[in-house]
Structures are given as C-alpha cells and as structure tokens.
Amino acid sequence: SGFSEGVTTSTYVQMLVMVTYRGNSRSTLNGEDEEEGSNLCAICFDKEKKVTLKPCGHDQFCFSCALRVRTCPLCRAALTSIEAIPGGMSEQVTTQVIPRITFKDRFQAIIRPWILWLLAGLVFWQNSGWLLSWGSGAQHNDRAMVLATVLQNGGALVYASDRFLDDRDIVLAALHPDGTLLRYASARLRGDREVALAAVHQDGRALEHVALLDGDREVVLAAVLQQGVALRYAAEKLRGDRDLVLTAVRRDPTALRYASLDLKDDAEIVLEALQRDPQALQYATVRLRGDRDIVLQAVRRDGMALQHASKELLDDREVVLAAVHRSGDALYVADGNFLGDREVMLEAVRHDGQALLYAHADVRNDRAVVLAAVHQNVCALQHASAALLTNCSFLVQALENRSVLPRLTHVTFRTDCHGIDTSQPSPNKEVVEPCQV
C-alpha cells in the first residue's frame, strides 16, 4: 500500500499489523493545532496523544496504549497500521511490525490452561494412587506397578486386588507412612506378627486391626509406646497388666480410661496419670475420687478437676480452697455454702471478679472482697452492695482509674463523690464496651 510523502511503502503480511513512525508537528486529524492541556491520551489520560490509527484516522491515543489494541476504541474498526508522530523526531521513518491476534492465538489462550490443569491432575492422580483405581485389570495385576504406586502413596492399597492385599512386600510398603492401612490387608497378614509390629510402630491405633495379636504383649507394648490410648484395643488380660498400663498412662494419661477396674483403683497408677493430666481423675474408681490426698493432688494442678471429686469432698473447705486458688471457676462446682465463705470468695474473685455475682449478701458488702473483684474486673462493681455503692471513700479507692467509668453507665453513683461521673467520656477517646448487666 502507498503512504504519503516521506513514508516508506511496505507490503502487509497476513496476520501482521504495520506501525509507521514519521516526523511531523503535532496536529489533529483536521490539521488544526491542539490547545495546551487537550492533548492527553483518551485511554490512560497520562501521556500525550501521538498516533493516528489506520484506517479510521482517530488520533486520541498515545503510542503505548495504541500498541495494546487491535480495534479502534472509538469506532471498533479493525486496525491495519498505526502512524506515530513523536515530537522532535527526525524525518527518518522506522517501521515495526506487531503480530495480529488470530484465531489460533485465541484457541491457544483457551486450551493452554486446560492442558496445564489436566497435567496437574495426572500428577496428582499418580501421587494419590487414583491411577491404580482407574487402571485396567491388567494394571491391577501388575505387581511392579502396584508396588510403585503404594510406595508413592500407601493409601493406594485400598485399590489393589485381593492378590496384592495378601502380598507382604506391598502391604509393608503401604504401612510405612500410615500403620492404620493394615485394615485393608488380608486376614493372614493382619495376623502376621512382623506386619503387625510394623503397623503399630508407625501408629499405635493399628492395634485395632491386628488379628488374634491383641493378646501379644510385645505387639501391645509397641502400640502403647507409640500411642498410649492404643490400650483400648488390647486384650482384657493385658489391660490388667500393671507395667503395661503404667507405660500407657505415662505416654497418654487418658489411657487410664481403658485400664482394668483393679488398676483404676491403683493409687500409684492414678497419681501417674494425674501428674500429667489432672482431668484423668474422672477415670479413677469412686474410692479414689473420694480420697482426699489424691483429689488435693489433682485440684492443685487444675482446679476444675474438682468436678470429678466425690460429693463429700465438694464440701471439704481445704479441697475447695485449693481448687479455687488454682481456678476461680471451681467455685461453681463446690457446695453452695462456700458462696458465703469470705476466704473462699476472696480467692475466687481474684481469678474472676464477676464471681462476686454469686456471693452471699454479706460477702458483697465486704470491702476487701469487692475491691479484689473490681481490680480483677471493673464490671464486678455492679454486684457490690448498695451500701458500698453509696460510700464515696470506697468508690474513690475502687475507681482510681477513671477511664473505666464509661463502662459502668448503668450503675448509679452519688453525684457528690469527688467528680465520679459515668456520663463523662473516656479521656483516651476510645470506644469502650459497657459492662453487661
């Protein structure tokens, strides 16, 4: 095609768009000079408009924006060339070609993500053993393929044929990452001592799936060493084995739950469990849950272990005081008479000021108890007695930090108490959450 004077002539190749540069003064399509400030690109509004799109002739775009379009943004005409006129360029003409987006390009842009997705899926299936599940009968009977698959992912054992579920090497390979896969093995291999040991060494819970070996002390010992609660799958005789049970509770104190009744009544074993988890008291016999020394050992570590003590000990002041000292919530488990016990309530509110709500009236009128509660949680002040709420000297002492006053908006104070006014905004100018009634 021919161009104006000073422009080289070039032949357009199918699939290509020609871009031509030529020196010229900046002008509009009609040859009129543009006004200052009106020469910004209509797309980016940043760079100067320096090109004319062909064949439509629109010239409202900068060079970089024009290079990104294949049709005119104004008239949607397919572009054949871009005529750029940068300011200050020489009369020399330079030509650059840009590939046109073709149907092939569009097709590749659509199909490429699907190909990548399929490839990723194939890798996932290979690693997860799904290829074995989708394989043909010949593949299911290919020992080398099945072995390679379970080496990558032991879970693929579930897709293997019965023949390979009875293959020692394949089953052992599958058990290496997950001992509980023993459940898919044949009955013969689940009763194989070597296979069972390999499984419980990896995961003690595999003891559930052994056949006739739950009474084998070595197998059970290996299981409880790996996971104490595997004791639940041991034969009844071994759940009464004192040394074995001690090993289990040292590994996991909740294993006491599966010990024989005689061993749940063994003080040494119970204390071993309580040293690691005081809540294990719930698995001891009624006799030991009523043993004052054992319960004290538990509540001194976790006050809430009091909930598992016998009813008689819930009324034992020393036991309750020890429990509340460790956890204020233990107060709600103890006998209701302690709600009027000043010393017990003082310990309770030091952990949870709101416990003052449940105290007897005389305790809520005790200045020391209420101050301890307010210092732990200012909202506890709403549970103080009416007499204390009208005592200015007490209020000044309780509310040394005046920034908490906005939280007590529903509590009525005397207006002459040294400037205590809950309607005043917080000096920190922070949004404060009012105390819940």
The reported pLDDT for the residue numbered 86 is: 54
Per-residue pLDDT at 413 exceeds 80: no
Per-residue pLDDT at 418 exceeds 70: no
If DSSP codes are grouped into helix, strand and coil, which group holds residue 48?
Answer: strand
The reported pLDDT for the residue numbered 77 is: 85
The reported pLDDT for the residue numbered 113 is: 77
**Mean pLDDT (the chain, rounded):** 81
Mean pLDDT of the 13-33 span: 44
Tell me which of 289 and 63 has the higher pLDDT: 289
Q: What are phi and psi of 299, to 5 degrees?
A: -70, -20
Rounded Cα distance, 97 and 280, in Å: 80
The reported pLDDT for the residue numbered 421 is: 54
> Which of 115-129, 140-154, 326-340 is predicted least confidently?
115-129
Model confidence at 349, pLDDT cuts 50, 70, 90, reads: very high
Please give the order of strands across the beta sheet that includes 51-54: 51-54, 81-84, 16-21, 94-99
Rounded Cα distance, 209 and 203, in Å: 11
In Å, what is the CA distance from 39 to each residue of 27, 48, 80, 125, 327?
Answer: 10, 6, 23, 58, 76
The reported pLDDT for the residue numbered 291 is: 97
Evaluate whether 388 touches 365 at the Cβ level (below 8 Å). yes
> Which of 110-114, 380-384, 415-419, 428-432 is predicted least confidently?
428-432
Tell me which of 15 and 74 has the higher pLDDT: 74
Write the DSSP assignment of 243-269 as a string of letters.
Answer: HHHHHHHHH-GGGGGGS-HHHHT-HHH
Model pTM above 0.85 = no
The reported pLDDT for the residue numbered 327 is: 87
> Which of 115-119, 198-202, 285-289 is predicted least confidently?
115-119
Which of 340-349, 397-406, 422-431 holds the top average pLDDT?
A: 340-349
Give Cβ neighbours of residue 111 (< 8 Å, ≥ 6 apart). none
The reported pLDDT for the residue numbered 8 is: 35
* Bridge partners, residue 48, by sequence: 40
> Which of 33-42, 145-154, 193-202, 299-308 is predicted least confidently?
33-42
Tell me which of 36 and 167 has the higher pLDDT: 167
The reported pLDDT for the residue numbered 340 is: 92
In Å, what is the CA distance from 156 to each residue of 130, 173, 277, 324?
Answer: 7, 11, 38, 53
The torsion defined by the Cα of 414, 420, 424 and 430, in degrees rounded to 10, comes to -130
The reported pLDDT for the residue numbered 138 is: 59
Q: Which long-range contacts (CB under 8 A, 24 or more apart) does 262-268 make?
A: 263/239, 264/288, 266/242, 267/291, 267/294
The reported pLDDT for the residue numbered 19 is: 47
Model confidence at 407, pLDDT cuts 50, 70, 90, reads: confident
If DSSP codes are grouped into helix, strand and coil, which group holds residue 189?
Answer: helix
What one-character DSSP code corresponds to residue 100?
A: P
Question: Pick from 303, 309, 302, 305: which is nearest to 286 by CA?
Answer: 309
- The 10s digit of each residue's pLDDT in 206-259 is 999 998 899 999 999 999 999 999 999 999 999 999 999 999 999 999 999 999
Domains for the chain: give ranges and CATH numbers.
1-101 (3.30.40.10)
Rounded Cα distance, 147 and 161, in Å: 12
Tell me which of 401 and 326 has the higher pLDDT: 326
The reported pLDDT for the residue numbered 22 is: 47
If DSSP codes are grouped into helix, strand and coil, which group holds residue 88?
Answer: coil
- The 10s digit of each residue's pLDDT in 66-96 is 877 888 888 888 887 877 655 533 444 444 4
77 exposure class (CB count in 10 Å sphere: 0-12, 13-18, 19+): middle
Question: Pick from 3, 113, 116: which is nearest to 52 by CA?
Answer: 3
